[in-house]
Every structure is written in C-alpha cells, then in structure tokens.
Amino acid sequence: MRAAKRGSLATSGRRRGLGVVAAMTLLLVSGCGAKPKNPDPGASRPSQTRSQALIDAGNQAYRDGNYSLAARRYAAATEVKSDDPAAYYGLGMALAKLGRDEEARVAYARARELARSHKGP
C-alpha cells in the first residue's frame, strides 16, 4: 500500500511540475507577435531616425563645448536628411562658434528657408 501511495504522489508531483512548465511557457510565448503599445514613429522612416540621432549627438557635443564634433554631426545629419531645418541651424551655431562666420550664415539661411517651407497653412 505504501508503495502505491508513493507512486501516486510522485505522479501528481510530476503533473504539477509539468503544469508549471506549461504555464510558464504560455506566459513567455503569449507576448510574441504582439504589437508594441507605443511604436517608434521613426521606425518606418530610417533616414529621419538617423538624422535625429545625429542632431542629438551634435546637440550633446555643442553642450560639451566640442564645436568641431558638433559641426561634423550636424553636417552628417544634413546629408542624411537634407530638408531638416534643425540640422542646418545646429550646423550654423557650431560653425559660428568655430569662427567660420560665412559658412554659418549659409547654414542659417538654409535653415530659415527650410523652416518657412515646413510651415503649415
């Protein structure tokens, strides 16, 4: 009788263990394929995302006082997305800090032109 009882306890323990494993597996897999609640709006526009990342890097370099690096980052952003006024404005700011006034004026003018064309009705 004891042997039979031990056998049934072992079997129920295994079943319980399998149930836990099955439940954990379902929890892990249930999120697969679900759409994120707040998808990245730039994900479908890689050039915009890359441009913004370069502008952010330029902003950080500018704040750190590394105007040469900032100018390079902003210039790279203008190459990735040539119609972004923020990239040209940042480039103008960095170039002005480097004493490259004529180049800064050109960048500011481009930023102003792009900003006007981006205005809504």
Q: Which residue has the higher pLDDT, 44 or 61?
A: 61
* Cα gap 61→55, rounded to integer Å: 10
The 10s digit of each residue's pLDDT in 16-29 is: 655 555 554 444 44
| Across 73-85, average pLDDT | 96
For residue 103, the model assigns a pLDDT of 98
Q: Is pLDDT at 36 greater than 80 in this prediction?
A: no
Find the DSSP H helices in the chain.
Answer: 2-30, 46-63, 67-80, 85-97, 101-118
Q: Is pLDDT at 80 greater than 90 in this prediction?
A: yes
Structure tokens at 84: 């972004």
Tell me the torsion sign for CA atoms 106, 108, 111, 115: negative
Tell which residue, 113, 68, 63, has the closest CA to residue 94: 68
For residue 68, the model assigns a pLDDT of 98
Give the chain's domains with CATH numbers.
47-118 (1.25.40.10)
